[in-house]
A and B are shown apart, each in its own frame.
Chain A
């Protein structure tokens, strides 16, 4: 492991200025956007995919990587993480998600990403080359709400980043990729966790002290607040456009402008068909683009999602059913259900320590009905497109960024080893805190 790292390092050094150029020769290539090609080559020049073919010649000075017996896939993309923003969940000082405040669209996750978080090395050597990192909600924090604080409606801007870069600027793929909105939750389905255990709730299956009428009242109040904020943002937009006298720049409303212009999608967590319908209704009323995040159940909402071309980020496949009586494989079959309904979706792991298991989440979905190639798309081209980077990432095509993984086999199989990882054409040293500890103790007498 270490030796290989040294060799690569030498190779990279020897390559001189062009350490983001390489020819991968004679591998089985899985572009995702087209059929696999056996025993072919990929030429990467200056960080981009330059050529793919059966006979590709390396220009002078470009090193050659022998891909015989190996496969090449696009780098994997995780659509739900806190990477760079959270190091150790239980130590609050190391966690930068879940800021205070009700409406915080101006917060941007990107500039708070720590490029040296140990998590990045761990996930990139597993083949996850980019990820969406969220200002709240992914992981165990309750995003501003929870811990006795008032609810947070708008948590800030999530960013699509490479999992490698010297600075967060280098890691940034585009500007913000989504505005994360924590939609008001009607009742316990809004996400405080799973079903109440029987022996705690009592036999009437009570979910809490509040009647539906009370819940609706709170919900309507919260919705009113949210829509009011959007209304204020629109007024700001109008005033700005018209350059009204006395116009003062407001950072919060500034941050809302791309949302109102339809350039920045709103990511909304909606667990049930009812919540999804509500979110879609809201989006239509406010005339914004949305992405539905972590539905637990699609039901009647599936058709509407398909009809309105709204993409979905599925949460962890390896999850328990939402209710006592539900089929044990409820979460395993959800991706297949989304696929059959014609919904475009991507996977997110929603917990930093499990990001490296992204492909295995996808594999479980395959066992329970999702076609193999759809699973692969959901961790490559789909997230790239959903997050507005479909022209640059997610598949092996010329002119796209060279985010590539070279593997011993199907990346969805656990025993597959990732042999090489390229991000923006640069080969990543396959070393992390964990491999270093391994090396150290492997040789301890």
Chain B
């Protein structure tokens, strides 16, 4: 009997050690985001969800208890535009001597070789003759179907406190729809998906090295991209009309051919459009209004300009602000010409979130290719130092993106019933010397990867899941 009991205890201890289904963090400071800060309280997690949170939340029997003395619990951070989870869309290794800094990106980091574009891997390049040929449109794709849990960036981002990304198949002109995924290290990608289809990714350039010229297919110039997109929406509208008419009374009517690209476009409840300069913001907002599509703008480098907030307010579109602040060129030629605009960009770029906050514009921050914890911490800190209140910075990486994507009932704050995505720190999140102690994704605990040695390189990912 004793042996059996001992075996059972051992078994249950092992089970708890591997993956406690019920746990509680107590005596910790809790920043719920949705409500006032709890100076000292408890968060109870069961079955991957937050069961209870409060000063006096009761801890169920058998729960694995973590002593949170001296620690702070935050909702897990959400990266509102990402390619993490789709390894082929990771940015190319930066050229030697430049490092990853100082690069400007207008799209979330995809500078892959054209091999990433499905058309070119399939067959020799067929040059498009107009919008009716659409090699750059893969609108039916869902990021959820391409998630690969072995993407090394998952661990890196998670170690910086991110538990969730809104991952987009960022390629071509209509890349497909983004999916919200939790950064859980699991065997099956499907388990990571929180919401499979949250909006169509649109780009107005192919990025990378496809210099214009007459050899590449349509489109080539910015106005070509806009015409391309416009035509697809016209076609989608027409397609819908025909489909509905055919569905109502097919007899005697030629059937409209099935077009999965147009289906993908019709399925998308919102679109994401790139806009960095003020002129681009104006252009894209008007364009989205013309297309009659709810839109989210991403990039927003010139959001610090005084004209930006009133413009955004007029349209009411939420925006995603890149955290990859423009940096001054390193070791520049002292005589290299710097325009006033680019100087302002470097100087005032990080002030954008604070200004948007004051103007009441709904916005979220996104990592835009940054994935090292130190880089990310510094980037947010810069915004805080430039006028974004700390709690607003936290909100911009938690509840705001959840609201923007319509999943605020599930994510973004520490409230009973929401998904148990948490990050626990010693020190205030985003401060220079703060240590992230542990990260919870869907209630499962992860350790942050160790700091990389000075001089860069990525830290090895620790085996996740082992609780202390």
Contacts between the two chains (Cβ within 8 Å), count: 77
Give A379 to B342 CA distance when docked, in angstroms: 40
The answer, among A214, A274, A325, for a CB contact under 8 Å with B335, is: A274
> Chain A contacts of B302 at CB under 8 A?
203
Which of A207, A272, A323 has most B Cβ within 10 Å?
Answer: A207
The answer, among A188, A195, A199, A323, for a CB contact under 8 Å with B333, is: A188
Contact status of A213 and B104, CB under 8 A, knowing A204-B346, A205-B339? no
A202 at the interface (CB under 8 A from B): yes
Give A214 to B332 CA distance when docked, in angstroms: 10
> Chain A contacts of B328 at CB under 8 A?
204
For residue B451, give the distance in angstroms from its CB to the closest CB of chain A: 27
Check A215 against B345 for contact (C-beta < 8 Å). Answer: no
Check B341 against A203 for contact (C-beta < 8 Å). Answer: yes
Main secondary structure of the interface of B (DSSP, over half): loop
Q: How large is the interface on A (under 10, 10 to 19, 20 to 34, 35 or more residues)?
A: 20 to 34
> Chain A contacts of B329 at CB under 8 A?
204-207
Give A203 to B328 CA distance when docked, in angstroms: 10
Q: Using a CB-CB cutoff of 8 Å, which residues 318-348 of chain A contact chain B?
A: 322-325
B223 at the interface (CB under 8 A from A): no
Check B345 against A212 for contact (C-beta < 8 Å). Answer: no
A187 at the interface (CB under 8 A from B): yes
B326 at the interface (CB under 8 A from A): yes
A189 at the interface (CB under 8 A from B): yes
For residue B100, give the distance in angstroms from its CB to the closest CB of chain A: 14
Give A323 to B338 CA distance when docked, in angstroms: 8
The answer, among B102, B277, B332, B337, for a CB contact under 8 Å with A323, is: B337
Check B332 against A212 for contact (C-beta < 8 Å). Answer: yes
Check A324 against B339 for contact (C-beta < 8 Å). Answer: yes
Give A416 to B336 CA distance when docked, in angstroms: 43
Give the number of residues in B that approach A within 8 Å (Cβ atoms).
Answer: 29
Contact status of A212 and B334, CB under 8 A, knowing A204-B346, A205-B329? yes
Give A209 to B331 CA distance when docked, in angstroms: 11
> Chain A contacts of B98 at CB under 8 A?
209, 211
B215 at the interface (CB under 8 A from A): no
Contact status of A207 and B340, CB under 8 A, knowing A212-B331, A213-B331? no
B125 at the interface (CB under 8 A from A): no
The answer, among A204, A215, A324, for a CB contact under 8 Å with B340, is: A324
A186 at the interface (CB under 8 A from B): yes
Q: Using a CB-CB cutoff of 8 Å, which residues 293-349 of chain B contact chain A?
A: 301-302, 326-343, 345-346
For residue B117, give the distance in angstroms from its CB to the closest CB of chain A: 22
Give A311 to B335 CA distance when docked, in angstroms: 24
Contact status of A204 and B337, CB under 8 A, knowing A209-B95, A211-B332? no
Closest B residue, CB atoms, query A322: B337
Contact status of A198 and B104, CB under 8 A, knowing A186-B333, A204-B326, A211-B331? no
Q: Which residues of A contact B (CB under 8 A)?
A: 186-189, 195, 198-199, 201-207, 209, 211-215, 272, 274, 322-325
Name the 5 nearest CB pairs between A and B, nearest first: A205-B342, A211-B331, A187-B333, A202-B104, A324-B339
Q: What are 14 sample pairs from A and B whose C-beta atoms fall under 8 A apart? A: A186-B335, A187-B335, A198-B339, A198-B342, A203-B301, A204-B327, A204-B345, A205-B336, A205-B342, A206-B104, A212-B331, A212-B332, A272-B335, A323-B337
